[in-house]
Structure 1
Amino acid sequence: MQIVITPGGAIRCLYDESLNLNLLGKVQISRGSQVEPDETGQWFADLAPVGGPSLGPFAKRTEALAAEVAWLEEYWLPASEG
């Protein structure tokens, strides 16, 4: 898990359950994307909730989830530092 602590003291990360974030203070969780299949069974990661692109198509849901995490870690998480 990557954790970013902003100069103002806010902590940001991609949520998972490897760390009890409640131990760090008040937690606010918001959706960063949606991973859904289309009518043909191809998978897409829609990053519109954080101003990102739609990624895909992917043959497997796990591929779409991996692309989602990679994009969020590369583009959204570092951008939140300011």
Structure 2
Amino acid sequence: MQTPDASPNPAILQELVKHQMPFGKYKGKLLCDLPVSYLEWFCSKGFPPGKLGMQLATIYEIKINGLEYLLAPLKRQAKGPQR
């Protein structure tokens, strides 16, 4: 029996610093910049289905576990060179 590949997918983290919330109170805000309180609300009510739900659950786990530093270099890279 083969086990699934458990290695992290860096593309998921890159999406968190590039994609915006498509609806609601924080529409247009980058997923990585959503407040923890908003993510906690989703966690209690249920994350939306599909890719967005996975992204929101991922950023929630990153934030509640104090791992936001992992996103800092990706955020700088996503912004591009400073002028």
Q: Normalising by the residue count of structure 2, what TM-score does the alignment of the two structures yield? A: 0.27
Larger relative helix fraction: 2
TM-score (norm. length: structure 1): 0.27
